[in-house]
Structure 1
Amino acid sequence: MTSPRTRWFGLLFISLSVSLIIVDSTIINVSIPSIIEDLGITSTQVQWVQESYTLVFAALILVFGALSDRFGRRRLLIIGMTIFVISSVIAGFSEDGNLLIAARVLQGFGGAMVLPTTLSLVNANFQGKERGIAFAVWGSTIGGMVAVGPLLGGWLTTDYSWRWAFGINIPIGIIIIIGALLTVPESKEDLNTGRIDWMGAVYSVIAMSTLVFGLIEGRTYGWWEVNKPFTVGDWTWPGKVSIIPVMFLVFVLATTLFITHGAARLKKGKPALIAFKLFGIASFRNGNIAAMVIALGEFGIILSLPLWLQFVIGYDALQTGFVLLGLAGGAFVASGLAGGLSGKVSPVDMVRLGILLEIVGVAGVGFAISPTATWINVVPWLFVYGMGVGLATAQLTNVVLKDVPVQESGQASGTQSTARQLGSALGIAVLGTILFTSVQVELTQKLTDEKLPAAQVTQVVDSVVDSAGGAIIGLEQNPETQPIATAAKVAISDGTRYGAFAAAGFLGLGFLATLSLGATRKVEVEKIHEGGDAHVI
């Protein structure tokens, strides 16, 4: 039996592992301009450096959630952290964009093992009021690390190299592995003896991959007509229609097969990748819908803001990190506020308050953005936004899992994490597409209105878009192209603003989704665990 003190020390290492995983999804943001300059990656590769990690994360998190129930949650956490450390070494030594993207894919494997196991370990090792406190620590860690990541990345990139943004993972990862072995008790479900749903895993990976690929690559290959041939090695897509609509069709088919396959397995008494029966629990069902939509709005803006701060405003990576520290300050204040409101305000109301603050904050950022803005224009809004993230994240996790039986915690936490990661992936893909597409359209129009030759317009626009704004520095240094640099700054500012407003819109949908959480009633979860139909009482 683990002593109470050891359990809380274990929570420290569990939270630290979450910190490392979350930091790695944000630390890279402020390093992107340096990576563009060093490795010469394109804007599409910029999105994939971000997206490959999140995509693999979302595609595999369900699989590892189920495996952790079977083979041990601490065991998978340690294996995942080991993979994460190894992939960080590869990323830090990458000499081209493709190797860096491959390393990020491998990091996604490790991260997908770690995150759901941390949730299920908290769910298994803490009960009653202690569980609420533990979830608050876990969730506040996520909210804070979303902002601390850019600051840490900015410092390492400015004073050392972007490669140290990955190198920092190595010593911290080793500390986590040792600490988990010493303080975190093993936890697994002995009753779950059925075979893993590998076919469901295949369907889920196909569905996630094709959806995000289509959203990111649509502007490259064409949303319907072919803009650029899609090639793999010597093979070229032969269709007259772009590959993108086909990807979306595959997504629909794979999603349909995933649902029907999982439902058929459950009818036969076999375990499915997602415990569909858990969706009979109102808090679990409604909370997951809200979590996905909220994450879509929360994380998308983190892609565009560092690019705007560095290429338009002219800040370096460290200065950018300090600006984004406003998020961390808001999240820190929110953690204290949540503690004071605990027992006085329901978790659902806390989530709603958090989302409203996020909407105000991100919309304020949108209104503040301009080519002549400074940090003082955006930091107050980022602080408000950070308060919202801090309030909403921890309490939403608690709401989603509060009625789930401990025996189902691996699959339940995997499903909840997948909802958030899918939302994050869609946020980066959708808001990244809004940013780069609007820059392409607006800059083309501005330069055409200035009577520049069509060939020069195409060359300049492609240069700015493919470099994700990095070409502005060179344009600004040449007196003859300074007006073009000014136009490019306006276009990127407008694209970033549109992305912020779109994020606010998605968060608004997330707030509407939480209205259904207010109707949550007590569910007879024992029936769920026994395999019977859920019913609300």
Structure 2
Amino acid sequence: MASEPAAGRDAQRPSRYLRYRWWGLLAISLGVAMIIMDATIVSVAVPSIVADLGISSTQIQWVQEIYTLLFAALLLTWGRIADRVGRRRVMLIGVILFVAASVLCALAESGGLLILGRALQGLGGSMILPTTLALLNANFHGRERGIAFAVWGSTIGGMAAIGPLLGGWLTENASWRWAFGINVPVGLLIVAGLLLFVAESADTGAPQRLDLGGAALSILGFGALVFGLIEGRTYGWWEATEEAPFQAGPLSPVPLAFLLAAVALVCFVLLQRARTAAGKGVILDLSLFRIPSFANGNVTALIVSFGEFGLILSLPLWFQNVLGFSAFEAGLALLPLAIGSFLASGGVAALARKFSPIFVVRTGLALEILSIAALALLIRPDSTAWLTSPILLIYGMGVGLATAQLTSVILAEVPLAKSGQGSATQSTARQTGSALGIAVLGTAFFTTLRTGTEDQVAGALANAPQLNGALDSVNATSGGSISTLAADPQTAFIADAAREAMTNGAALAGWIAAAALLIGLLTSLRIKPVTEAVADAQSFGPADGGAPEPRAAMQGTLRGTGQGAAKDSAPVADRPEPMA
């Protein structure tokens, strides 16, 4: 008789996870919101951090970039570990680590401690992002999965815009330290939501030994690649600049980083093939790339991220330095992007009833292309938020439609047992694309700012060489000195030239982003629509890609969710109702 109460308790767990799975989606989305917000929130707090801690330009650069570097380098490794030990467990550890690192950042009294805190945040974030996708893929199916991915994708697009707004408000009205401190209550909500409403899932058939060699090579390869993309503009793409920490002869460390990345990634692929042939565990199952939707979807995701997130670099600077907005006002100017993204997520359910996910992706990309092209064509140094707001609203709607549904397309045919690997792979593709976009669009933006300003004032400075320092300040501060130069009648002409050049740089970045998104749209034409029936059959199929297994066979993969035999035996009243 003692076993009956235990059996009764186990029977109730599936019902609870199924009934409250949408609350679980909220917890997972908050996890995404936290890591995306911290990737953008620091940029507007930089002046206050420098003034408070008195740190060097090199240190502040690493405060911003160590997060992205570790985040991108570790995604594949944590995705595979999560498949083995449990996706919810890894996400919980990542959230706790992220919150602890945020406290360290908030209390930091030196640049070194702040950099350490940001590095630990990147480590925690790399544990969170791939597991969020894997948990959605495991706990939602059919049309509900598309809705869940829509919420996930809109959160990414929305928080990329809300991060600067929140960071600006906290910096201006409280302290830059609260830009990190706010993660503590958010993190506690995420932990509670995961424990209460999200079922654990894992690949119970995975080999027990981790592919340590593959993990090391993936971290080294992607870390070196992202380092090169981030630091190229500062350290020099070929010849070393004065800021470079070292140089090999005349060479910058950047081409050496690219060479190291190429060698490491080639060795990574060869090792994964050899281990797969020997029946050993791998970090990335290369057979996933034989799935057309997965392979083509990842290529599209990389290209789309290039265009989407590269643009986020130039717009806040343009709002503040050309239009004269404060950090908070610049955040408000970006708010229509977030609103459009969240509005699009609300419309995905209706679109999902009539159209395939890939059609929704293409519609979103078309909206993004049109809106970015309009922005690049229309912006002027005297533009207002009345011009940019409707354009950014449409752009945000495109992001909301394309980002989430592209994720759904990529993972649609990935077996559930490999969803951690699949999620981490598409996240790595996105992060690589984002870093590439920031590198290329950032170089175009800042090069146009420098050369455009110099060309316009060259004649005047020939007769006033004492003002060369004022011109140099425009480049050194990324346009931050424009308002100071405008206030001085002697240097106002330099400020006017810099505003014009920065506007041209933002327009050029916009045209490059639009071209990248157009290429992404064209590559999406290679992706064939996947029906819900096929997607569910693949998701519940065995890891070796054979014939789909009955859902009851997945009890070991979805622990306590009711998605296996327990679901089919649950009372009708306990079964989930479709979301309206």
* SS of residue paired to 2:160: helix
Q: 1:267 maps to which residue?
A: 277
Q: Once the two structures are superposed, what CA deviation does each residue of 1:316-343 show, in whole Å capped at 9, x if it has no partner?
A: 1221111111102211321233222222
Q: 1:73 maps to which residue?
A: 87
Q: Does the 8 Å contact 2:29/2:151 carry over to 1?
A: yes
- Identity rate, percent: 50
Q: 2:348 maps to which residue?
A: 338
The residue correspondences of 1:45-444 to structure 2 (distance < 5 A) are 48-95=62-109, 99-228=113-242, 230-231=244-245, 236-444=246-454
Q: 2:14 maps to which residue?
A: 2
Residues 110/512 of structure 1: CA separation in 2 closer, same or farther (3 Å cut): same
The CA deviation at 1:209 is 2.6
Which of 1 and 2 has greater Rg?
2
Residues 49/514 of structure 1: CA separation in 2 closer, same or farther (3 Å cut): farther
Counterparts of 2:58 and 2:456, CA distance in 1: 23
* SS of residue paired to 1:530: coil
* SS of residue paired to 1:228: coil
The yes-or-no answer on 1:28 pairing with 2:28 is no
Deviates more, 1:69-78 or 1:424-433: 424-433
Counterparts of 1:364 and 1:220, CA distance in 2: 30
Residues 90/183 of structure 1: CA separation in 2 closer, same or farther (3 Å cut): same
The AA in structure 2 aligned to 1:240 is P
Q: Does the 8 Å contact 2:356/2:529 carry over to 1?
A: no
Counterparts of 2:196 and 2:394, CA distance in 1: 39
Counterparts of 2:491 and 2:53, CA distance in 1: 24
Residues 114/49 of structure 1: CA separation in 2 closer, same or farther (3 Å cut): same
The AA in structure 2 aligned to 1:421 is Q
Counterparts of 2:283 and 2:194, CA distance in 1: 27
The CA deviation at 1:229 is 7.0
Q: Once the two structures are superposed, what CA deviation does each residue of 1:242-294 show, in whole Å capped at 9, x if it has no partner?
A: 33322222222122112112111111111221111111111111111111110
Counterparts of 2:59 and 2:229, CA distance in 1: 14
Residues 107/147 of structure 1: CA separation in 2 closer, same or farther (3 Å cut): same
Q: Once the two structures are superposed, what CA deviation does each residue of 1:4-55 show, in whole Å capped at 9, x if it has no partner?
A: 2232322221121112122222333443454455556777766654433222
Q: Does the 8 Å contact 2:452/2:497 carry over to 1?
A: no
* SS of residue paired to 2:250: coil
* SS of residue paired to 1:150: helix
Aligned residue pair count: 530
The AA in structure 1 aligned to 2:296 is N
Counterparts of 2:44 and 2:174, CA distance in 1: 13
Counterparts of 1:308 and 1:199, CA distance in 2: 44
Q: Does the 8 Å contact 1:43/1:465 carry over to 2?
A: no
* SS of residue paired to 1:516: coil
Counterparts of 2:222 and 2:466, CA distance in 1: 38
The CA deviation at 1:143 is 2.8
Q: Does the 8 Å contact 2:101/2:118 carry over to 1?
A: yes
Q: Normalised by the size of structure 2, how large is the TM-score?
A: 0.85
Counterparts of 1:71 and 1:507, CA distance in 2: 37
The CA deviation at 1:96 is 5.4
Q: Does the 8 Å contact 2:415/2:545 carry over to 1?
A: no
The CA deviation at 1:109 is 0.8
Counterparts of 1:355 and 1:47, CA distance in 2: 32
Q: Does the 8 Å contact 1:91/1:100 carry over to 2?
A: yes
Q: Does the 8 Å contact 1:204/1:258 carry over to 2?
A: yes
Q: Does the 8 Å contact 1:74/1:187 carry over to 2?
A: yes
Counterparts of 1:448 and 1:102, CA distance in 2: 43
Deviates more, 1:479-488 or 1:168-177: 479-488
Residues 96/347 of structure 1: CA separation in 2 closer, same or farther (3 Å cut): same
The CA deviation at 1:84 is 0.9
* SS of residue paired to 1:190: coil
The yes-or-no answer on 1:502 pairing with 2:512 is yes
Deviates more, 1:277-286 or 1:142-151: 142-151
The AA in structure 2 aligned to 1:210 is A
Counterparts of 1:221 and 1:10, CA distance in 2: 44
Residues 202/219 of structure 1: CA separation in 2 closer, same or farther (3 Å cut): same
Q: Does the 8 Å contact 1:222/1:228 carry over to 2?
A: no
The AA in structure 1 aligned to 2:368 is E
The AA in structure 2 aligned to 1:530 is D
* SS of residue paired to 2:154: helix
Counterparts of 1:461 and 1:97, CA distance in 2: 29
Q: Does the 8 Å contact 1:29/1:302 carry over to 2?
A: no
Residues 164/292 of structure 1: CA separation in 2 closer, same or farther (3 Å cut): same
Counterparts of 1:519 and 1:12, CA distance in 2: 28
Two-structure CA RMSD over aligned residues (Å): 2.7
Counterparts of 2:445 and 2:109, CA distance in 1: 27
* SS of residue paired to 2:204: coil
Q: Once the two structures are superposed, what CA deviation does each residue of 1:54-74 show, in whole Å capped at 9, x if it has no partner?
A: 222211111111111111111
Counterparts of 2:512 and 2:268, CA distance in 1: 30
The CA deviation at 1:462 is 3.8
Q: Normalised by the size of structure 1, how large is the TM-score?
A: 0.91
Residues 412/101 of structure 1: CA separation in 2 closer, same or farther (3 Å cut): same
* SS of residue paired to 1:495: helix
Q: 2:5 maps to which residue?
A: none
Q: Does the 8 Å contact 1:351/1:393 carry over to 2?
A: yes
Q: Does the 8 Å contact 2:357/2:529 carry over to 1?
A: no
Counterparts of 1:89 and 1:45, CA distance in 2: 19
Counterparts of 1:40 and 1:492, CA distance in 2: 28
Q: Does the 8 Å contact 1:70/1:188 carry over to 2?
A: yes
Residues 41/495 of structure 1: CA separation in 2 closer, same or farther (3 Å cut): farther
* SS of residue paired to 2:281: coil
Counterparts of 2:117 and 2:471, CA distance in 1: 30
Residues 462/163 of structure 1: CA separation in 2 closer, same or farther (3 Å cut): farther
Residues 422/70 of structure 1: CA separation in 2 closer, same or farther (3 Å cut): same
Q: Does the 8 Å contact 2:230/2:435 carry over to 1?
A: no
Counterparts of 1:5 and 1:531, CA distance in 2: 31
Q: 1:493 maps to which residue?
A: 503
Residues 87/433 of structure 1: CA separation in 2 closer, same or farther (3 Å cut): farther
Counterparts of 2:486 and 2:296, CA distance in 1: 50
The CA deviation at 1:186 is 1.9
Residues 136/217 of structure 1: CA separation in 2 closer, same or farther (3 Å cut): closer
Deviates more, 1:509-518 or 1:363-372: 363-372
Q: Does the 8 Å contact 2:306/2:437 carry over to 1?
A: yes
Counterparts of 1:476 and 1:29, CA distance in 2: 23
